Structure 1
Amino acid sequence: MELNDMRKFLSRVLCVVALGITLAAPSANAVDAATSLRVLSQGEGTLHRSDPTEQFVVHSERALHAQDVAPAAPEQPAAGIDKAEDGPAIVVTVRKPSITNKIDRRVYDVSARDDAFSNANDVLSRIPSVTVDPRGRIALRGNRQVKVLIDGVEGRPEVVSNLRASEIDRIEVMTNPSGQFASDGSGGIINIILKKKRKQGINGDVSLGADGDERYNFSGNVSYKTGRWTASAGAGSNHIRDLRTLNGLQQWSTPSGIETTTSANLTSFSRRFGFETARLVYDASINDRLELGFGNYHWRGSVDDSGIVQITGPSGAVVEDQKETIFTADNGFSAVWTFSYVHKGKVDGERFSLKLNRVDGRTADIADHHLSRTVPSPEDENYSYSNLSPTSSTSLGGDYERPFGTSRLTAGFWVETSDNDVRSRSENIAAIVPSESDFDTTFLYDRRTLAGYGTWQTPLARWVVMPGLRIESEQWNAGASSRDELRLLPSLSLNRPLSDTMRLVASYSKRTQRPDIIQLNPRRVYYSRYLVYEGNSDLRAQNTDSFEVGYEFTGKKFSSNGSLYYRVSHDPLTDARRVAADQTVIATVINADKSRAAGLELSAKGKITKTADYSVNLNVFDSEVNGVFGGETLRRQYVTWSGNAIVEFKPTHEDWLQLNLNGAGRSVMLQGYQTGFYRLDLAYRRKLTAKLTIAVNAMDLLNSSKQTTLFVTPEGESRTIGRAKRLAVMIGLTRKFGNSEQ
C-alpha cells in the first residue's frame, strides 16, 4: 500500500473511531440540543455533539448521502489531504431519531411523511399529548389554550389548515415553555418547523385527492436551486364539506312553572380554501442566510342551517312553535410577508437570527334569517347580521445563542403591533325581539407588545439546569376598555441523568392567556331567536403557573416518558350562560376565580414486530374551576383524560399503513361540562414508482364524533347534543419530479 493510500485509509478509520468516542461520551457534559456534522469527501470527518440527550442512529455506508450531512463538503481538498481516488469509501450517516428529548421541549421528526394532501392538523393528531377534536380545535394535554407556531411565529388558523404535511420537518411540543417564547398559550406551545433543505436543480411535486362527497384537495410545489440561490413556489386549493346535527333540551323556571324548550338543527357546511406561496433564499456565505417569503391564503364558504324550536308550558300545552332557516356566507384572506436573517458566529454553536413578519387580512360574513311561527300566531319575519373585520399586524424578533464552555446563553427581544376592527350591522332585529333595535357599530381593538428574554443553560453537579426570565410590556385597547400591563415571566427547566438511557426531568413556567377580539366585543348577535352571543369588554388576562416532574427513557427498541404535573390559573377564561326574561339564552365568556388541573401523563413507543411500530399516550387528570356568576358561587370538578394510540405497519418498502385512535374526556366549565370524543382514522400509502405515490385517508371510521354540552343556571339547565357526520374516504395521488424522490 502506497503512502498516500495508507494516509487516506488511516484518516477514515480515525474519523469512525472519533465518532464512536463522541457518541459514547458521558451525558453530563451536554448543554445544547444542537448537532453539527461535517464529512469531507476526502475521507476526513468530525462530529460535534453538544447535547448528549439527543440520540443518533449511525451507520457506515459505501455512498455519500449529501442530504444527511451539513454543511456540504467543500469542492477542493482540505489542506494536507490528497484528492480521493475511485474506490469504496467509508461514510458516516447520521439520521434523526423519531423523538428527541431536549431540556425544554420534546421534538418529533415527521419529515418522512410525504402525504401531500394531508394537512398540519392530520399530523398533529398523531403526536403524543396532542388531540384534535371534531371541530378541528387543537388541545395539549386536554387544554385548548394552546398556541401553534410555524417556525417560531404565530400560525394563523387559515395558514395551519392549508399547511401540507409534506412541508413539515418536525414538531416541537412544549408543555412548559421557556422564557424564549411569548407568554400567551397557557396550555403550552406547539412549534411546527418546516423543511429548509432543497436539492440542486428543479424539483417539486403535484398531488390530487378526492372522495365521493365533493371533497377535494389539489396542490403543487416547485423549487429551483442553483449556487447560493434557492427559489420555491406553491399553490393549492381544497374543498371541505360537513354535515352536523344539533339537538337541544332546555328546562327553565318561570313564575307559572317549568317551561321546556326542544330544538333540532341540521347544518350543512361548505368551504373552499386556496393558497399561493413563494420563497427566495440567498446563502450569502457559509455562515449567513437571508430568506424572503410570501403567502396569500383565501377562503369562501357557506352554511345552511335549518332548525325547529318548540316551547311547552307547565301544563304541557305548546306556547310557541317555530321554524328558522339561516344562510350564512363568508369570505376572507390573509397576506403574510416574512423576512429572516440567520448568522452563524465564529464560535461553534453561536447563532443570531432576525425575523420580520407582516400580516394583512380581512374577513366578512353575512347571515340571513327567516323565521316562521305557527304558534301563538302565524307570522313570517326576516332579519340579518353582517360583519366586516380588517386586520393587520407587524412583528420583529431577534434571538442570540452562544455557548460558554459547558454553558449556553440564549437571549432575544420581540416587538409586535396588532390592529383589528370589527364593523357589525343588523337589520330588522326588532321584528323578532321588540326590545332590541338595529345597530351599526365599529369595535376597535389594538395591542402593542414589547418583550425581552434570557435563558442560561449550565451543568450544576449532576444536573443540567436552564433558568429563564421573560419581561413583557403590553398595552391594549378594546372599545372603551384599556389595559397596560408589565409581566415578569420566570421559567426553569432541569434534568439529571440516572443512566445512559434514563433521566429525571422537571420544569416550571408562568404563562398568560389574553382574551381575543370575539370574546371582548360586547355587541349582541342572535345566532337564532333564542340563542345569543354577547362579548365581555371587561375580561382580564388569565395567568397560569405550571409545575412538572417526570422521567424520560430511551432504549434501542423502546422509549417512554412520564410526567406528574400541576397547573393553577387565576382569572381563568370560561364559557358561561344566563337566561333573559323572554327565555333567550345569552352565551358569553367570563373570568372565573381560579382553576386547577393535576394529572399523570404516560407515553410509550416501540416495536410490535419487525414491520410494525406502536405509539401510545394517556393523560389522566383532575380538573376543577370555581368562581361567582349570576350571584351564585360555583365549583365544578371532574376526573377526565386525553390521549391517542397509533399503530404503523411497514410490510414492504413501498407500503405504509397507520391506524390512529384519538380522543379526550369531558372538559369542565364553571356552569357545566362538554363531553369528550374519540375517533379512529386510517392512512395508507403505497409507492407505485420512485416518483408516484397513491394514498388513502379514511377519517372517523366509527362515526363517533358526538359531543354533549351541559349548562346549569339558576333559571334551569340547557343540554345540547352535536354530531359531525364527517365519515370520509379520500384517495389521492402524488407525482414528484426532478430529484424529489426520497
Structure 2
Amino acid sequence: MTFPTRRAALLAATGLAALSACALATGAAAQTPTTTPAPAKKEQSTQVQGVTITAPGSQDMKTSIDRRSYSLGKDIQATTGSVADVLRNVPSVQVDVQGNVSLRGDANVTIMIDGKPSGMFRGENRGQILQQIPASQFERVEVMTNPSAAFSPEGTAGIINLITKQQRGVGATGSVRANVGTGGRKNASITLARNTKRLTLSADAGWRRDKAKGEIVDDRERFDALSGKYATSRQQINFASRGNAYNARAGVDYDLDKQTRLSAEARYNDVTYDTDAGSFYDGKDVNGAPNARFQRRADGQMKRSVAGLSGDLRRKLSHQDEEFTLNASLERTRDALITLADAFNQLPVASNSVERVRVGDELVQGRVKADYKRTLAGGAKLNVGYELQVDDNDYDNYGARGPNSGALVVDPALTNRFKYDQVINAGYVTYSRAFGDFTVMPGLRVEDVKIDTNQVTSNLKDGYDYLRAYPSLHMQYKVDDMRQVNASYSRRIQRPSATDLNPYRIYQDPYSYRQGDPRLKPQTTDSFEVAYQRRKGFNYYLGTLYWREARDGVTDVVRDLGGGVLLTTKANLAKSRSGGLELVANARLSPKVSYTISGNAAWNEIGATDLGFPDKRSAWTVSGYAALNVQATPKDFIQISGFAIGKRLTPQGYREPTGMVNLGYRHKFNDRISGVVTVQDALNTFGDKLVINTAALKDRRTMDLDLRAVFIGITYGFGGKGVPNPRRAREPAFDFGAPGGGVGPM
C-alpha cells in the first residue's frame, strides 16, 4: 500500500475509522432481530482460554496467561500521591527520583491508559508527567513483561497499563477527593457517572499542585593526555520548582442493541513546572589552578499539554463468540521548555551575559486498529487484526544571547528545527487452545515501518524503512486448583525517539550539550520467562525466572569536548544480556494483619567495547518492595511500606542504591466519607547518584530532592443505589481485541 504521510494521513486514518464505524453501526441496526431479544447477559471478559489464579478473599493480585494485575485499593499512597508514587509499589516496577519508570531495570517501557498509548508518556519529560497525574484516578495496574503479538512490540521492557476507576453503581454516582500537604502541596479530584440500561456517561477532573526543592552537585575529572593528569571541576545547582497539573476526561458508551456498542472519549492534560535555579561552576587545570568560574541564575518553565479524542465500535457478530472491534484515536502533545538566564563569568574573562532558550516540540499521532476474534472448534480462540500508526513530530528550538535582556540576538548555535515522521503498518494473529490442563498461545506480528527525518536548519534529510516480524509464545499448565506454571517468549523493539535522531547539538547550559544520531538502529530484545504460582487460602506466591538478550541498545554516551564542556550523545551498544529471579508474596499473618513483599535479584552484562571498554561489564543488583497492612478496627487501616533499589550498572559506570519509606492511615467515618493521613519519604532517603568511571572521564553527579511530605485528605462518595450494575459496567478496559483481555473488574 502507499504510505500516508504527516497530518493528511492522520486525518485520513481517523476519517476512515469514523466512516467504517458508521457503516457497521447502520448495518448492526438493520440486522437487529425483530423478535424479542434474549435477556442481557453479563458482559464477558476478553480473557483468553487459560487459567486465572486469584487469591481468595482478596483481589490484590491476579494473573493470566500474558499479564499480572495489581489492585491499588489497599495502597493508601494512591489516595494522596501521583502515578509515580504508586508505581514504586508495584512488583517489577522501579521509578527514580525524577519519575522515570523502568521494568526490572530496563527504562524502555510503554505506558498506556486503558489499553491505549498516550503522548503524555513519551519523550524526556514523561517523568514529570507521572509525578503530576493523580493516582486516585486509577483502580489497578496491569504489567506485561512479555506481551503477546497483538500488542505493539515498542518497549523492550514491556507494557504498564493504567486502568481508570469506573463508577459501577446504578443511576448517578460520583466522588469528591481533596488532600492538603506540607510545603504548599495540594490536590483535588471529582468523578461523575450516570448509568442507564443502554447509556453510560462518565467524567472526571483533577488538579494537583506540587512543590520541590533540591540540589545537584556534579564533580568531574577530565584526563589530559599531555600531562597524564586529571583536570577537575565542580558545578553546584540549587533549585526550587512549583508544578501545577490539570486533567479532565469525558466518555460515553451507548448500546445500539445487544450486539453493538459505540464508545467515545475525550481527554485533556496540562502540566506546568516553574523552576528557579542558581548554579556555580569552578574549574581547575591539571595543576589545581583555577581556570574557569561562573555563576548563573535561571528562571525556567516546562509545559506539556495533551489533548486526545478516541472512538470505538464493538460488534458481536452472528456467532456468539465472534466479535469485531474498531478503534480510532487522534492525539496532540505539545512540549515547551523555556529558560531565561543571567550569567556572570569571572574566569577566564570577566563578563556578563543574558540568554533566552526555548526548546519546543509537537507530536500529532493518529491510530486506527481493527480487530476480529472468534472461538473455533474445540474451544480454540483466533484473534487477527490490523493497526496503523502515524506520527508527525516537529521540534523547534530557539536561542538568543546578549549583554542584557534588551539586546538579545538570535544565536545560530541555539536555534534549529527538526522534523520526524513515522508510519507503521502492522498485522497480527494469535491463536489460543487448551489441551486438557495445558494452554498454548502462539502469535506473530509483522510491521512495515517508514521513517523520514529532516534537520531543516542544516538541510540534512534522511530516511529508511524496514519490515520485521515479532513472534510471541505463551504457555500455561494447571498443576492443580492451587498451582500453575507459565512460560512465555516475545521479541520486542525500542525505536530511537525523535530527539535521539536529531543530529543538531542542543544547548542545555554552558557546560552541557546533547546531540542525536539520525542513523541509530532500534534495539531488539528477545525475552524468556518461566513462572510458578501458588495460592493457599488467602496467601498467594509467585516466582519468576527471566532472561533477556538485547542488541543495538540505544544509550547515553558522555564525551569531553574540552574546557569542562560535556556532550551527551546516543550510541548503539553491541549486545547486552540480563536475567534474574523475581519473587512476590501476598499473605496474611493474622485475620487483621497482611503483607505484600517482592524482591528481584538481577544480573546484567553490557558489551560496551564501542565506548572504549576493553571487556564486557557485568554486575548483580537487588531491589525490592514491602508493605505491612493492619486492619486495626473495621474502620481503621494502617500501612507501612517501602522500597529499595540496589546498585545498577550503566554503560559508563553505575547508579548508587536508593530507597524510600512511606506511612499511611485511613479512617472510614461512614459508608460515604473516609479520611487519610500519609507520609511520603518519611526518612528523607530518596535520591539519585550517577557515577561515570572511564579512563578519559570520571564524573559523580548527585541529586538530592526533598520529596518528604505529609498529606491529610478526605474522600466523599455520593449517589448510586449501592448495587453494581453489570449491564452497564464497562468491559475490562484493555486494548480492544487483545487476546489476553482484562483480568476482570476489581
Q: Say how many residue pairs are matched.
A: 662
1:289 equivalenced with 2:258 (yes/no)? no
Q: Residue 571 of structure 1 contacts residue 592 of structure 1 at CA under 8 Å; is this kept in 2?
A: yes
Measured after TM superposition, the shift of residue 230 of structure 1 is 1.7
1:530 equivalenced with 2:528 (yes/no)? no
Amino acid aligned to 1:211:
G
**Partners of 2:403 and 2:52 in 1: CA distance:** 65
Which residue of 190, 200, 205 maps to 1:230?
200
Describe the SS at the equivalent of 2:178.
strand
1:131 equivalenced with 2:129 (yes/no)? no
Q: Residue 427 of structure 1 contacts residue 438 of structure 1 at CA under 8 Å; is this kept in 2?
A: no
Residues 308 and 403 (structure 1), Cα distance of their counterparts in 2 relative to 1, 3 Å cut: same
**Partners of 1:662 and 1:232 in 2: CA distance:** 35
Which residue of 205, 214, 230 maps to 2:175?
205
**Partners of 2:628 and 2:521 in 1: CA distance:** 43
**Partners of 1:49 and 1:589 in 2: CA distance:** 40
Which residue of 150, 154, 157 maps to 2:117?
154
1:519 equivalenced with 2:500 (yes/no)? yes
Which residue of 337, 343, 357 maps to 1:385?
357
Describe the SS at the equivalent of 1:539.
coil
Which residue of 609, 614, 625 maps to 2:595?
614
TM-score (norm 2): 0.83
Find the counterpart in structure 1 of residue 371 from structure 2: 399
Measured after TM superposition, the shift of residue 506 of structure 1 is 1.1
Residues 691 and 474 (structure 1), Cα distance of their counterparts in 2 relative to 1, 3 Å cut: same
**Partners of 2:436 and 2:248 in 1: CA distance:** 52
Residues 402-481 of structure 1 correspond to what in structure 2 (within 5 A)? Answer: 402-404=374-376, 405-428=378-401, 437-460=412-435, 463-479=438-454, 480-481=461-462
Residues 221 and 520 (structure 1), Cα distance of their counterparts in 2 relative to 1, 3 Å cut: same
Measured after TM superposition, the shift of residue 714 of structure 1 is 4.1
* Structure 2: gaps spanning 5 or more residues: 1-37, 405-410, 455-460, 724-746
Find the counterpart in structure 1 of residue 153 from structure 2: 183
Identity across the alignment (%): 27
Higher relative contact order (CA 8 A, sep 6+): 2
Amino acid aligned to 2:705:
A
Measured after TM superposition, the shift of residue 531 of structure 1 is 1.7
Which residue of 65, 68, 71 maps to 1:106?
68
Amino acid aligned to 1:268:
A
C-alpha deviations, 1:301-350, integer Å up to 9, x for none? Answer: 21222111111223322222221222212323211111112233454544
Measured after TM superposition, the shift of residue 569 of structure 1 is 0.7
Residues 701 and 207 (structure 1), Cα distance of their counterparts in 2 relative to 1, 3 Å cut: same
Q: Judge which range, 678-687 or 623-632, deviates more.
A: 623-632
C-alpha deviations, 1:391-446, integer Å up to 9, x for none? Answer: 21110112333222332112222111111101111212899xxxx85443210011
Residues 343-362 of structure 1 correspond to what in structure 2 (within 5 A)? Answer: 343-345=315-317, 347-362=319-334
Measured after TM superposition, the shift of residue 231 of structure 1 is 1.4
Find the counterpart in structure 2 of residue 373 from structure 1: 345
Measured after TM superposition, the shift of residue 585 of structure 1 is 0.8
**Partners of 2:84 and 2:208 in 1: CA distance:** 14
Residues 103 and 523 (structure 1), Cα distance of their counterparts in 2 relative to 1, 3 Å cut: same
RMSD: 2.8
Residues 127 and 56 (structure 1), Cα distance of their counterparts in 2 relative to 1, 3 Å cut: closer
1:268 equivalenced with 2:230 (yes/no)? no
Q: Residue 84 of structure 2 contacts residue 131 of structure 2 at CA under 8 Å; is this kept in 1?
A: yes
1:249 equivalenced with 2:211 (yes/no)? no
**Partners of 1:180 and 1:515 in 2: CA distance:** 22
* Structure 1: gaps spanning 5 or more residues: 1-38, 59-94
Q: Judge which range, 457-466 or 504-513, deviates more.
A: 457-466
Describe the SS at the equivalent of 2:147.
coil
**Partners of 1:106 and 1:665 in 2: CA distance:** 24
**Partners of 2:332 and 2:528 in 1: CA distance:** 37
Q: Residue 636 of structure 1 contacts residue 669 of structure 1 at CA under 8 Å; is this kept in 2?
A: no
C-alpha deviations, 1:2-28, integer Å up to 9, x for none? Answer: xxxxxxxxxxxxxxxxxxxxxxxxxxx
Which residue of 185, 190, 195 maps to 1:215?
185
C-alpha deviations, 1:602-630, integer Å up to 9, x for none? Answer: 11111011111111111111111113446
Q: Judge which range, 385-394 or 542-551, deviates more.
A: 385-394
Find the counterpart in structure 2 of residue 54 from structure 1: 52
Measured after TM superposition, the shift of residue 163 of structure 1 is 5.0
Q: Residue 55 of structure 2 contacts residue 62 of structure 2 at CA under 8 Å; is this kept in 1?
A: no
Describe the SS at the equivalent of 2:288.
coil
Describe the SS at the equivalent of 2:84.
helix
Find the counterpart in structure 1 of residue 469 from structure 2: 488
**Partners of 1:330 and 1:369 in 2: CA distance:** 15
Residues 577-656 of structure 1 correspond to what in structure 2 (within 5 A)? Answer: 577-629=558-610, 633=614, 635-656=616-637
Find the counterpart in structure 2 of residue 658 from structure 1: 639
C-alpha deviations, 1:59-95, integer Å up to 9, x for none? Answer: xxxxxxxxxxxxxxxxxxxxxxxxxxxxxxxxxxxx8
C-alpha deviations, 1:40-69, integer Å up to 9, x for none? Answer: 99xx9x9999856224688xxxxxxxxxxx
Which residue of 56, 60, 84 maps to 1:121?
84
**Partners of 2:395 and 2:39 in 1: CA distance:** 59
Q: Residue 233 of structure 1 contacts residue 276 of structure 1 at CA under 8 Å; is this kept in 2?
A: yes
**Partners of 1:575 and 1:288 in 2: CA distance:** 49
**Partners of 1:498 and 1:57 in 2: CA distance:** 16
Residues 165-180 of structure 1 correspond to what in structure 2 (within 5 A)? Answer: 165-180=135-150
Q: Residue 117 of structure 1 contacts residue 219 of structure 1 at CA under 8 Å; is this kept in 2?
A: no
Describe the SS at the equivalent of 2:633.
coil
Q: Residue 428 of structure 1 contacts residue 438 of structure 1 at CA under 8 Å; is this kept in 2?
A: no
Which residue of 301, 311, 328 maps to 1:329?
301
**Partners of 2:192 and 2:721 in 1: CA distance:** 10
**Partners of 2:403 and 2:498 in 1: CA distance:** 26
**Partners of 1:726 and 1:98 in 2: CA distance:** 27
**Partners of 1:102 and 1:522 in 2: CA distance:** 44
Q: Judge which range, 624-633 or 123-132, deviates more.
A: 624-633
Residues 164 and 315 (structure 1), Cα distance of their counterparts in 2 relative to 1, 3 Å cut: closer
Larger gyration radius, structure 1 or structure 2: 1
Measured after TM superposition, the shift of residue 111 of structure 1 is 5.4
Amino acid aligned to 2:368:
L
Describe the SS at the equivalent of 1:108.
strand
Q: Judge which range, 623-632 or 452-461, deviates more.
A: 623-632
Find the counterpart in structure 2 of residue 16 from structure 1: none
Measured after TM superposition, the shift of residue 566 of structure 1 is 0.9
Measured after TM superposition, the shift of residue 113 of structure 1 is 6.4
TM-score (norm 1): 0.84
**Partners of 1:720 and 1:223 in 2: CA distance:** 48
Find the counterpart in structure 2 of residue 544 from structure 1: 525
C-alpha deviations, 1:644-666, integer Å up to 9, x for none? Answer: 11222222232222222123223
Describe the SS at the equivalent of 2:183.
coil
Residues 163 and 186 (structure 1), Cα distance of their counterparts in 2 relative to 1, 3 Å cut: same
Describe the SS at the equivalent of 1:454.
strand
Residues 305-344 of structure 1 correspond to what in structure 2 (within 5 A)? Answer: 305-344=277-316
Find the counterpart in structure 2 of residue 87 from structure 1: none
1:694 equivalenced with 2:669 (yes/no)? no
Residues 553-568 of structure 1 correspond to what in structure 2 (within 5 A)? Answer: 553-568=534-549
Amino acid aligned to 2:453:
A
Q: Residue 385 of structure 1 contacts residue 525 of structure 1 at CA under 8 Å; is this kept in 2?
A: no
